[in-house]
Chains A and B, each alone.
Chain A
Amino acid sequence: MDRILQNSKNLAIAAVVIVVALLSSVVIIPETHQGVVVQAGKPVRVFNLFRPDVPYGQTGAGLQMRIPFLEQVQMVDRRVLDLDMERTQVLSNDQQRLQVDAYARYRIIDPVKLVEKAGTERQLEAQLLPILTSVLRQELGRRPFSALINAERGTAMANITATLDKQARIYGAQVLDVRIKAADLPEGRPLDAAFTRMETDRQEEAATIRAAGQRDAQIIQAEASAEAARIYADAYGKDPKFYDFYRAMQSYRQTFLTGEGQSTMVLSEDSEYFRQFKGER
């Protein structure tokens, strides 16, 4: 009985040892990573190396073997990574300042180089960031301000990408592209100046609009007056003499009836009005 028990105990221990050995010699490489096998600090081989034309499912991801304890597997990202630059001030060649925010996207295509030269992705980032910043400053500093606003046009970004890529290749990375995320006027005087310019621009526009309104209003009134004059001329021109009489009558009424204050008339006896008064025949 004891022997049987002893046997099964031994069996169990053996099984555990085998499982542990298996587990420690097997690594699962996800599709998102490449595994660099490091032996005594030296990279010896790579699992799931990035190959642009190999579809997923046929890559080296999945179960891979290693010698337990002797070999370590360092995971290196296989995806497109993001290098996000801090905002930096760029001086254009016409001495204007611009705050530029840029990013680069890169991929590690040679993880062995990365492990040897940089260590990890994070350390690579620390290496590349200052390079990106200085390349950007240099390249954009050669252009006038108006070109910086639209830096995506032209050759600037291609040049920056090429320069950064050359540096990144040393560390086993490939730069896919560099883009300007934001180009802003720096806080303080440049921004204030821009605001002031915008403001005065609008004030001018407002004044112009108001003046144009006044002008149009005057024109409309003048045209109406002219039209009215024409109408009057048409009507009264038929008999100027009668018009004179008719208008005089109107004017008298207007003056004496609706005018303010009491009027006193001194009439001569021989006025037209008193013609009949004298009993003339």
Chain B
Amino acid sequence: MAGKNNPWGGSGSNGGGDEPGDGSPEGGTGSDGGPRNPWLPGGGEPGKRRSASIEDIFKSRGPEGPRRVGGGPGGPGFRLPERPNGKSWLPIIIGGVALVWVGVTSFHFIQPGEQAVVTWLGGKYYDTLDSGTNITAPWPIHMVEKENVTQVRLEEVPGTKTEKLILTSDQNLVDLSYLIRWNISDLALYKYQLNDPTNALLEIGESAMRAAVARQKLDSVLTGAGRAEIEQDVREAMQARLDAYRSGIMVQGIEINKVDPPSRVEEAFKDVSSAQQDADAAINRSRAVAQQVLARAQGDASEFDDIYEEYKLAPEVTRRRLYYETMEQILSKTDKTIVESGNVTPYLPLPELKRRAQQPQPPQGE
């Protein structure tokens, strides 16, 4: 249980660093022997262990400081080694800190594409810094705020998944989403002219977009015929208004991402395109039939022409030949009954009877 020396307590005004011996009850550690609580004042030995007070610090600066009394470099806390001429380190430290301060806060490395506004004490505008290395007065005299000015920013309207219905000139509704691309053209104006530039941009955009769509008919919006015109109109209208506010914002472009009919009537719109497909299909089918008819006609015609050529060479023979060939084919495949001319009563054809007998009688209708 030999208490270790507390790092905060071990060196009193007598200095001398840590006492090497531990475990000795009179070694300045807590009398209970455990590790000393650094936040509690040491019981009964105030001169030895209380933490350095303001007065101590002042005293140590004084002529009868502990250098003369204690003699060691310890003091309350620690002490720097003495300067050769015996003066205080304080001015040097302050000077050094100030130098670093000035160095760090007066040099500004502005990245390409960035600019920065400089203000006096955060108040009056002083200058706009371009990219490169710039020197200003140190902070807080000159305050510098950097901003990327060439980077094109994107604002998507509306956000995700919401339906934005806009009225067209023929009083139809269209669901539309678009993108505003913009950047800062004048940083000082951007900073000081509008109290919420992004919101202003969005509102102006929305107003201009609705006005532009309201000049178009639904079909020209949906088919994309009027799209370029809308984008152009919106960009110009937005820029005109932003310039009127002297906002320091440049609208690079508007892009319409999506133009859809409202979801509630989407089916009807889809049916129109499927009607178009149906119509095309009907036309295609009839074209096919037409081709068949024509091909058939041409085939028949050329067959006839061929035979007719033959026939013209020997009409009677060809005619006979065709007749016999045809009869031959037909009669060889059919049942034949030959009756003598001159009126004999024709008897019932037997094969026919046989066949009828085999089939069930069809039900008699009344």
Q: Are A103 and B203 closer than 8 Å at their CB atoms?
A: yes
Q: Which of B124, B126, B218, B301 contacts A234 (CB 8 A)?
A: B301
Task: Select B322's contact among A234, A245, A263, beta carbons within 8 Å.
Answer: A245
For the complex, give the distance between the alpha carbons of A208 and B125 in Å.
Answer: 67
Q: Does the CB pair A212–B290 fall under 8 Å?
A: no
A79 contacts B121, C-beta separation under 8 Å: no
Considering only residues 165-207 of chain B, those with a C-beta below 8 Å from chain A are 165, 167, 169, 171-173, 188, 191-196, 199-200, 203-204, 206-207
Q: Which of B195, B215, B315, B351 contacts A80 (CB 8 A)?
A: B195
Residue of A nearest to B196 (CB): A82
The answer to whether A264 and B351 touch across the interface, beta carbons within 8 angstroms, is yes
Minimal beta-carbon separation of B197 from chain A (angstroms) = 9
Docked Cα-Cα span, A25 to B160, in Å, equals: 51
Instruction: Tell me the complex Cα distance, A100–B247, Å.
Output: 26
Q: Contacts of B264 on A, CB cut-off 8 Å?
A: 195
- B301 and A235 within 8 A (CB): yes
Q: Is A42 interfacial (CB-CB < 8 Å)?
A: no
Q: A146-B171, A210-B278 are in contact. List 14 more A-B contacts (CB 8 A).
A: A57-B124, A63-B124, A80-B195, A145-B171, A150-B215, A179-B207, A183-B214, A194-B173, A197-B172, A224-B290, A227-B297, A236-B304, A262-B355, A267-B339
Contact status of A220 and B290, CB under 8 A, knowing A28-B121, A213-B278, A246-B322: yes
With a CB–CB cut-off of 8 A, which chain B residues contact A210?
275, 278-279, 282
Measured in the bound complex, the distance between the Cα atoms of B63 and A1 in whole Å is: 9
Q: Which of A5, A30, A236 contacts B62 (CB 8 A)?
A: A5
The yes or no answer to A202 lying at the interface (CB within 8 A) is yes
Report how many residues on chain B are interfacial, defined by Cβ distance under 8 Å.
100
Chain A nearest CB: distance from B95 CB in Å? Answer: 20
B192–A56 touching, CB < 8 Å? yes
Contact mask for chain B residues 335-358; partner A; CB cutoff 8 A; 1 contact, 0 none: 111111100001001011001000
> Which B positions have Cβ atoms within 8 angstroms of A?
58, 62-64, 119-127, 165, 167, 169, 171-173, 188, 191-196, 199-200, 203-204, 206-207, 210-211, 214-215, 218, 241, 244-245, 247, 261-262, 264-265, 268-269, 271-272, 274-276, 278-283, 285-287, 289-291, 293-294, 296-298, 300-302, 304-305, 307-308, 311, 315, 319, 322-323, 326-327, 329-331, 333-341, 346, 349, 351-352, 355
- Collect the chain B residues with CB atoms within 8 Å of residue A221's CB: 286, 289-290, 293
Please measure, in the bound complex, the distance between the C-alpha atom of A57 and the C-alpha atom of B268, giving whole angstroms.
61
**Which of B63, B293, B338 sits near A228, CB closer than 8 Å?**
B293
A sample of 29 inter-chain contacts (CB < 8 A) reads A28-B122, A31-B123, A31-B125, A57-B124, A62-B119, A80-B193, A80-B195, A82-B200, A150-B214, A176-B245, A194-B172, A195-B264, A198-B173, A202-B265, A202-B268, A203-B271, A206-B275, A213-B278, A213-B282, A220-B283, A220-B286, A224-B293, A228-B293, A235-B304, A249-B322, A257-B329, A257-B333, A266-B339, A269-B341
A234 to B301 CA separation, bound complex (whole angstroms): 8
Tell me, rounded to whole Å, the shortest Cβ–Cβ distance linking A254 to chain B.
Answer: 10
Q: Nearest chain-B residue to A207 (Cβ)?
A: B275
A273 near B327: Cβ-Cβ < 8 Å: yes
Q: Which of A28, A56, A146, A180 has the most CB of B within 10 A?
A: A56
Query: Which chain A positions have C-beta within 8 A of B262?
Result: 195, 198
The 5 closest A-B pairs by CB, nearest first: A213-B279, A62-B124, A224-B290, A228-B297, A217-B286
User: What CA separation (Å) do A263 and B293 show in the bound complex?
Assistant: 30
User: Could you tell me if A80 and B211 are in contact, using CB atoms closer than 8 angstroms?
Assistant: no
Which residues of the partner chain A approach B261 to less than 8 Å between Cβ atoms? 198
Determine the distance from Cα of A249 to Cα of B328 in the docked complex, in whole angstroms: 11
State the Cβ distance, B321 to closest chain A Cβ, in Å.
11
Q: Whole-angstrom distance from the CB of A98 to the nearest CB of chain B?
A: 9
B327 surroundings in chain A (CB, below 8 A)? 252, 273
B304 touches A246 (CB 8 A): yes
Whether B245 contacts A227 by the Cβ 8 Å rule is: no
Question: Are A209 and B125 interface neighbours, CB within 8 A?
Answer: no
Cross-interface CB contact of A267 among B58, B62, B265, B338, cutoff 8 Å: B338
A185 at the interface (CB under 8 A from B): yes
Q: Say yes or no: A249 contacts B173, CB within 8 Å.
A: no
Q: How far is the CB of A237 from chain B (nearest CB, A)?
A: 11
Give the docked Cα–Cα distance between A249 and B290 (Å): 27
Contacts of A266 in B (CB 8 A): 337-339, 346, 349
CB proximity of A110 to chain B, nearest CB, Å: 18
- CA separation between A80 and B192, bound complex, in Å? 9
Q: For A216, what are the chain B residues with a Cβ–Cβ distance below 8 Å?
A: 279, 282-283, 286
Interface size class of A (residues with CB under 8 A): 35 or more
Q: Are A61 and B123 in contact (CB under 8 A)?
A: yes
- Say whether A118 faces chain B, with CB atoms less than 8 Å apart: no
Closest A residue to B312 by CB, please name it: A239
Which residues of A sit under 8 angstroms from B165, Cβ to Cβ? 184
Tell me which residues across on chain A come within 8 A of B331, comparing CB atoms.
265, 273
Question: What is the CA–CA distance of A243 and B120 in the complex, to the nearest angstrom?
Answer: 111
Contact A198 B265 (CB under 8 A): yes
- B330 x A180 contact (CB < 8 A): no
A199 beta carbon closer than 8 Å to chain B:
yes
Beta-carbon contact of B125 and A183 below 8 Å: no
Question: Which chain A residues lie closer than 8 Å to B300 at the CB level?
Answer: 232, 235
* A206 CB → nearest B CB, Å: 4
CA separation between A215 and B304, bound complex, in Å? 34
Which A residues are CB-close (under 8 A) to B207?
A: 103, 152, 179-181
Q: Which residues of B contact A220 (CB under 8 A)?
A: 283, 286-287, 290
Q: What's the nearest-Cβ distance from chain A to residue B334, in Å?
A: 5
Give the residue of A77, A228, A252 whose beta carbon is less than 8 angstroms from that of B296.
A228
Inter-subunit contact B58/A5 (CB<8 Å): yes
Residues facing B in A113-153 (CB within 8 A) are: 145-146, 149-150, 152-153
Residue A10 CB within 8 A of the other chain: no
Residue of B211, B333, B340 with most chain A CB atoms under a 10 A cut-off:
B211
Chain A residues positioned under 8 Å from B351 (CB to CB):
262, 264
